[in-house]
Amino acid sequence: MRSMTGCGNGRVQRDGWEVTADIRTVNHRFLDISLRLPRNISFLEQPARDCISRRIRRGHADVFLTVRNLESSGMQVVADYDLAAHYLQIAAELAERTGAENDVTVSRVLRMEGVTSVSERDMDQETVTSLLEEAAGQALDQLIAMRDKEGENLREDLRFHLKQASALREKILERAPGVVLDYREKLEARLKAIGAEGVDPQRLAQEVALLADRCAIDEELSRLDSHIRQLENYLDAQDEIGKKMDFLIQEMNREANTIGSKASDVSIAQCVVDLKSEIEKMREQIQNVE
């Protein structure tokens, strides 16, 4: 069992380039990968998605990537010669018209807006993509280790609540036959209290049988037991089980609601309330199972 919550980071340096990858995941119905990349490294989007989708099946993943050129030679200065010539021409014309001295030097021209700019040399996409795969692999290793550890905690918590739910089901199962007997005794007591002597035994049996049919919960208890056993089996599964467990917990809640509506008994009603509480606790945990 694996949780959908975790984080990991990786960093790789080689051939003058450094790539870092940070991945954080939370629960989600499907695999949802969110990347926001600068335009100059947009070519990394699909390789990053492929790396993640090979290792993660469910969850919302926020992915942060950075690429850095480690070599000073990776930067270059570009001059706009036409703009520089235009600045010089304007300076010469201004000096001629005003009679002022033309003291414009090359160093001053270099500081004029737009004359020079600094940019990175073209990125080696093949090398950077290879580094991304390594960095993402490191991040995913950490992420999955964290998700596995959290999954162990989820397993133990779910196992505890399943035992509680199973114990409550047994209490309801033990009490269920007594509901009909109690009804028969109460009905006979009421008839005696109002002086209704000589009541037809067959008629009394029919009334009791009708109640027994209305409050019969054997099928619901049987299905509830089946759901609990299936969930217990899923606790040790290694594949994607979150969706299956979510379906089963919904079915358990449905059976609990039906038992509560059919069984007109105070003790069973209290067990149902406790059972639904356990189911809700499991539902919250299952929402985070991959």
193 is a domain residue: yes
Last residue of a domain, one of 94, 114, 134: 114
| β-pair type (17-26, 59-69) | antiparallel
> Of all residues in the chain, what percent carry a pLDDT higher than 70?
83
Residue 12 lies in a domain: yes
Average pLDDT, rounded, for the chain: 85
Assess whether 176 and 195 both reside in one domain: yes
Residues 6+ apart with CB under 8 A from 216: 262
> Which residue has better confidence, 263 or 74?
263
In a domain, 119, yes or no: no
Residues 16 and 108 in one domain: no
| Cα–Cα nearest to 187, from 172, 175, 201 | 201
Does the pLDDT of residue 89 top 80, yes or no? yes
Are both 226 and 182 inside the same structural domain?
yes
What is the arithmetic mean of pLDDT over 41-61?
94
Residues 96 and 165 in one domain: no
pTM exceeds 0.95? no
Residues 203 and 224 in one domain: yes
My answer on whether 100 and 198 are in the same domain is: no
Any domain includes 120: no
Quick one: pLDDT band at residue 285, thresholds 50, 70, 90?
A: very high
Rounded to whole angstroms, the Cα distance separating 13 from 18 reads 4
Per-residue pLDDT at 105: 87
Domain shared by 171 and 137, yes or no: no
Region at 59 (left for phi over 0; alpha for psi -120 to 50; beta for the rest):
left
Provide the CATH number for the domain around residue 272: 1.20.140
Residue matched to tokens 């809700």: 280
What pLDDT sits at residue 195?
A: 55
pLDDT confidence of residue 74: 56
Are residues 37 and 85 located together in one domain of the fold? no
CB 1 within 8 A of CB 237: yes
Judge contact between 58 and 85, C-beta under 8 A: no
The number of distinct structural domains making up the chain is 3
Q: Are residues 94 and 30 in the same domain?
A: no
Q: What is the 3-state secondary structure (H, E, C) of 105-135?
A: CHHHHHHCCCCEEEEECCCCHHHHHHHHHHH
Q: Which range marks the domain in which residue 16 is found?
A: 6-72+125-147
- Both 205 and 237 in a single domain? yes
138 in Cβ contact with 10 (< 8 Å): yes
With respect to residue 61, please indicate whether it lies within any of the assigned structural domains: yes
Residues 138 and 230 in one domain: no
Residue 1 domain-assigned? no
Residues 279 and 155 in one domain: yes
pLDDT band at 75 (very low <50, low <70, confident <90, very high): low
Q: What is the mean pLDDT of residues 245-265?
A: 89
Report the pLDDT averaged over residues 30-49: 92
What strand order describes the sheet that includes 59-69?
6-14, 17-26, 59-69, 31-35
Per-residue pLDDT band at 171 (split at 50, 70, 90): very high
CATH number at 16 reads 3.30.230
**Residue 25's pLDDT is what?**
96
Structure tokens at 136: 């993402």
Statement: residue 92 has pLDDT above 80? yes
pLDDT at 275 over 60: yes
What is the band of 148 on the pLDDT scale with cuts at 50, 70, 90?
A: very high
Q: Is residue 224 part of a domain?
A: yes
